[in-house]
Amino acid sequence: MAERWTNTALLVIDMQNDFIEEGSVTQVKGGKAIVPNVIGVVELARQRGILVVWVVREHDPQGRDVEIFRRHHYRSEKVGPVVKGTLGSKLVDGLNIREEEDYKIVKTRFSAFFGTHLHSFLQTSGITKLVIAGVQTPNCIRQTVFDAVELDYPDVTVIVDATAAATPEIHTANLLDMRNIGVKTPTLHEWSEEFA
């Protein structure tokens, strides 16, 4: 393991069936296309000894912990999105949590930092650099990134082809906003070159 990566964590955000697979009311249209690159980011992180943090949503079956604008999805007889224990809340095929090495954070809002202990966990783990992958760019990715910058993480990176939004235009516009606050936005290939 390269010593230079011991203070880095990879946050993999919302790569769950209900956000990626077709047919879900919460599907992110660009999500399916990035699955291979997210798998690649995770594999590369593990090779380099980078801590992998899985950030997932797991909601109450009645939607009591969901944002107001989504609660109507939990009022019918059909199970709502990403309910804890359902197939929809599981990671997509190809992504797996390694219980011994990885860490999992459950969130109920856009930001991985909001209402969670992520910041204190990262601090006690000696993490100062964050690399982010997952969905979706204008919501959970952006909110997490902006919170990380506001919490003074000096080095925040978003892997552009391992993150996605509903459209390429939305993705690009939000990446520009993040670059404007000092966030790095390499491709997976460009990021992998840093390991050479």
Catalytic residue among 18, 129, 140, 161: 140
Tokens 């919490």, residue?
151
Catalytic residue among 18, 107, 129, 161: 107
The answer to whether the CB of 34 falls within 8 A of the CB of 28 is no
Q: Is 102 considered catalytic here?
A: no
Residue 95: closest CA among 144, 30, 46: 46
Which residue type does 60 have?
Answer: D
Catalytic residue among 14, 18, 129, 161: 14
Sheet holding 51-57, edge to edge: 103-107, 51-57, 8-13, 129-135, 155-164
Neighbours of 86 (CB within 10 A): 17
Tokens of 24: 């879900």
Q: Is 129 considered catalytic here?
A: no
Output the CA angle 55-131-106, nearest 5 degrees: 10
Residue 129's SS3 state is strand
Tokens 């000696």, residue?
126
The answer to whether the CB of 53 falls within 8 A of the CB of 12 is yes
Q: Is 161 considered catalytic here?
A: no
Catalytic site positions: 14, 107, 140
